[in-house]
Chain A
């Protein structure tokens, strides 16, 4: 009996000691965690994050303003200026993210490699679409199938590229709609570019006339309608082509190929040439 009691007391003492040790360990662990947490999330660090984000946002807005005004005052170099905009923006974002990582974690080189490896794996699965878009954006900037200010046609949307972001590209269509296209969709699709970084672009004007017209007379009228247009880029050639069509009704299709002085006046030029030609056709009795 005495032996049994001794064993019970011994076990109770051990359990008591063990409990005391666990509480101490837990206490130590909690203290350690809290101190690590305060090290990681200090007020200084929160303030740093806020300041970096505000500064980055402000800098982005400032850059937008700056580029907008540069473009306004140096119209001739508009496309060259706009080409720099996405590159500078990405640099600013990269710098901001780098500053945040360094300030918050101050990681060692090994930690960075480990983080890169694990995040690549995680991002690969979880953020597949976003990563695709970001890499698409980088590819667009590096490969340059088009630039800001270019007139492109992608997925049936024709218009001026107004922004190339990391995730999306924004196109302003001729009827003033803003179309946002994910970059991943752009790199996997075919794109037609009307001006490829140049300020001017070729405009094709189609005119339909009766089949029995005097082509010499028409050529003169149409060519002069183009060369007298205020929107013409006179430094580039004007081409006039004739085609016969016999689909529903027999007709002569006149195609005027000319360069407009600025891609933005594309439709104005088209309208101007059509209007002047039509008036001259009526005066010459061509529709009769």
Chain B
């Protein structure tokens, strides 16, 4: 089987190298593999949710120390803090768990686009527990600066304050002015998606507003392994042979005893997981969950999954994925605005990307559907953005 696959891959590579069209459309439609439904009790162990307490936060001691130091610095020089993270790296967990440093901190989660001054003022008043109406950010700024109270506000995903269009940066720029004007009274901790940071930095010199910036570091492979083993506690893990395997490993497996075979397959699984996750905890969890092949009684069978290669993406698809990634998530209406596309054009493209599972829909508080890049394809997308759109982003 593996040899056949290799042969097929080699032929495909040769076709690609010499630009010969593979007659894929005439091939027989393959039977879809039936998915084995895993028990909810097991799947729940792999749910992605932010950690709220420092005691449960692992592998982020260095970042927590930086947060403590940044708070001490604010007391002296009143500088706001920016935390830059990739989706799934655990930025939200870090910020939530860091509230032991500033127990009165208020968290402003912006999991929906903030596209008007009214909405922003409303959210800020709500988080500051101010029961007054303000017509502009300037009025709110005056009110805050005349009060005696100091605040700590954690504003997540600041990229939701802009939209890539003409006059789409006004709200963000005015908010930055507001942030500078109130920084003696409010300790601002802002988080931003790495790709939005790259874009805003280039076009609006975003980082110059923040003297203190924390970039989240990738988690060590050993720590990722411990995390996955921890989530499988209570289950006996049986590692299965992946579909694509090298001849060398195939030989080693044939020679090995049953126990040695399991050790080899376990190492192989984790090696594949590390190379996929690249220190991103959420990606490691997703990989482990998708690799769980079957659960019987208290035994889980794990077979490393194969990640799809995305070589048939059109330039338009890439521009859409880039726009979504730049804003963390976008609705179809917003996508029309950003890419200057018609509604029909955007819908068709979105359907195509959903079919390929490159994006996934999420629903916001006001029941609006937005689309996000599927974490499973994040690194492939980054590589494509570099290779095909020449973006100097790492």
Contacts and interface: CB of A to CB of B under 8 A. Distances in A.
B203 A234 contact: yes
Contact of B340 (A72, A76, A220, A275): A275
Given A69-B17, A69-B18, A228-B165, A262 B319 contact: no
Contacts of B18: 65-66, 69
Given A199-B390, A261-B389, A262-B390, A227 B203 contact: yes
Given A68-B19, A69-B16, A76-B386, A224 B392 contact: no
B164 interface: yes
A228 B166 contact: yes
A66 B391 CA distance: 25
- Centre residue among B168, B319, B340 by max chain A CB count within 10 A: B340
B367 interface: no
B390 A228 contact: no
A195 B183 CA distance: 45
B176 interface: no
Interface string B314-347: 0000010011000000000000001110000000
A246 B164 CA distance: 36
Contact of A224 (B16, B166, B202, B339): B166
B387 interface: yes
B17 A66 contact: yes
A224 B168 contact: yes
A74 B136 CA distance: 50
A162 interface: no
A68 B169 CA distance: 41
Interface in A36-90: 65-66, 68-69, 72-76
B258 interface: no
Given A66-B17, A230-B319, A261 B168 contact: no
Contacts of B206: none
Contacts of A220: 167
A230 B203 contact: no
- Centre residue among B19, B199, B319, B338 by max chain A CB count within 10 A: B19
Interface residues of A, number: 28
Contacts of A262: 390
B19 A276 contact: no
A272 interface: yes
B339 A74 contact: no
A259 to B, nearest CB: 10
Contact of A74 (B168, B322, B387, B391): B387
A258 B323 CA distance: 20
Interface in B370-394: 386-392
A235 interface: yes
A230 B339 contact: yes
A284 to B, nearest CB: 9
A105 B43 CA distance: 79
A276 B203 contact: no
Contacts of A199: 390
Interface string B156-177: 0000000011111100000000
10 closest residue pairs by CB, A with B: A234-B202, A227-B203, A224-B166, A280-B166, A228-B164, A230-B319, A261-B390, A76-B387, A65-B18, A69-B17
27 contacts: A65-B17, A65-B19, A66-B17, A69-B17, A69-B18, A74-B387, A75-B387, A75-B388, A200-B390, A224-B165, A224-B166, A224-B168, A225-B166, A227-B203, A228-B164, A228-B338, A234-B199, A234-B203, A234-B391, A235-B391, A235-B392, A261-B390, A261-B391, A272-B340, A276-B166, A280-B166, A280-B167
Given A75-B387, A200-B390, A234-B391, 16 more contacts: A66-B17, A69-B16, A72-B19, A73-B16, A75-B388, A76-B388, A227-B203, A230-B319, A230-B323, A234-B199, A234-B203, A235-B202, A235-B392, A261-B391, A275-B340, A276-B166
